[in-house]
Amino acid sequence: MIGAERTLLSFLDAPVVVGDPEGCAVYANPAFEARFARGVGRVPGIPLAELFEGGAREAVLRAVMAACRQGESVRFRLREGAVGFSAVASPIEAQGEQVGVVVLLKEEVEGIERILTLHRQMEQPLDELAHALEQLLETLREARPRALVDDALRSLGRVRKAADEVHGVLTGAPGAGRAAEAKPTRMLRRFDPGALLHRVAGRMARAFEAGQTRLEVVAKSALPALACDEHRLESLLQRLLEARLAQQPAPERVLLGARVAGTGAGSALLISLCELGRASHAERFADAPVEREEAAALAAELHGVAHPQLGRVTLLRLRVAG
């Protein structure tokens, strides 16, 4: 088996060393001997630990032990002198048993260390920016500024995810990095959805009067509490109302309602937006993608039903807080 590997591996420009179950080298290709085996004579029979120095020795031993223990490849990085390497240790199996391990090293492209340094430098300002936006969100009262801050937080999350993916690719550990230390999400307090509906309707009342459209709230006084992002839900409802008012022609009446569906653990709150009259465009029902994204962020379902004569209904289904 090793003889076949020796024939193939000798043609690789990347350094490769093969070890037995006792941790001794049984083969090293010419690229490995030229880079790591200077001064040790023949590599076979020498413990893997003696082929590396300092931190590189520890990194290799940890990776080899993990690969043998887990039975799968382990990616890691090491530095030998002034050169950095991306490496992978893979177990060798024969007839269902592990008979050794092969370590493949690839010299890193110049500049990777600089990119990793930049990633570390990005972490602190990203954390500070996220904290500042969280604090700002708590002080804002109007829905529109809150929506802008929410958008900024989502964009910040995408930047952080991209930075983590770059870090994972460079270190050979995709999905690692900061993903293992996920940031705690904002605590979501319970709130009265009926009060939220009246608040949104009150804010939009003047605009609806100017557009000669009646806006009515139809909701029971005692509705179960919700524990989703109140500010995001408020922003979504206002956005939906603004879109309905901007239609040409605008509907004669818009009913904003809420009711409970189901019982027990399966109960949900249904928030409906009903348009009545002037429904000539109702058959072209289509909420903007951003509205569906907002609903998905609330773990809510967004549905729509339209009829050319009867108007259309937009339904938002949210889970009731347990």
What are 251-290's pLDDT values in tens digits? 888 999 998 887 776 788 899 888 886 544 444 445 556 6
pLDDT for 280 equals 45
- What DSSP designation does 47 have? B
The dihedral through the CA atoms of 92, 94, 97, 100 has a sign that is negative
For domain 193-319, give the CATH number: 3.30.565.10
Is 50 exceeded by the pLDDT of residue 1?
A: no
The answer to whether the predicted template modeling score (pTM) of the entire model surpasses 0.85 is no
- Domain residue extents for the chain: 2-107, 112-181, 193-319
Per-residue b or e along 211-234, where b marks 16 or more CB atoms closer than 10 Å to that residue's CB = bebebeeebeeebbebebbbbbbb
Is 60 exceeded by the pLDDT of residue 172?
A: no
pLDDT average, residue stretch 21-49: 80
The size of the chain, in residues, is 322
What are 40-90's pLDDT values in tens digits? 667 888 888 788 887 888 888 888 888 888 888 998 888 877 778 888 999
Q: 2-107: CATH homologous superfamily?
A: PAS domain (3.30.450.20)
- What DSSP designation does 14 have? S
Considering only CA atoms, which of 310, 224, 228 is closest in space to residue 259? 224
d(CA 34, CA 50): 15
- pLDDT band at residue 184 under the 50/70/90 scheme: very low
d(CA 301, CA 319): 10
User: Which DSSP helix (H) or strand (E) runs through 260?
Assistant: strand 253-261
Considering only CA atoms, which of 99, 203, 186 is closest in space to residue 142? 203
The dihedral through the CA atoms of 237, 276, 301, 192 has a sign that is positive
Could you tell me which residues come within 8 angstroms of residue 127 by beta carbon, excluding any fewer than 6 positions away? none
pLDDT average, residue stretch 156-179: 65
pLDDT for 57 equals 84
> Do the Cβ atoms of 198 and 232 come closer than 8 Å?
no
> Do the Cβ atoms of 277 and 311 come closer than 8 Å?
yes
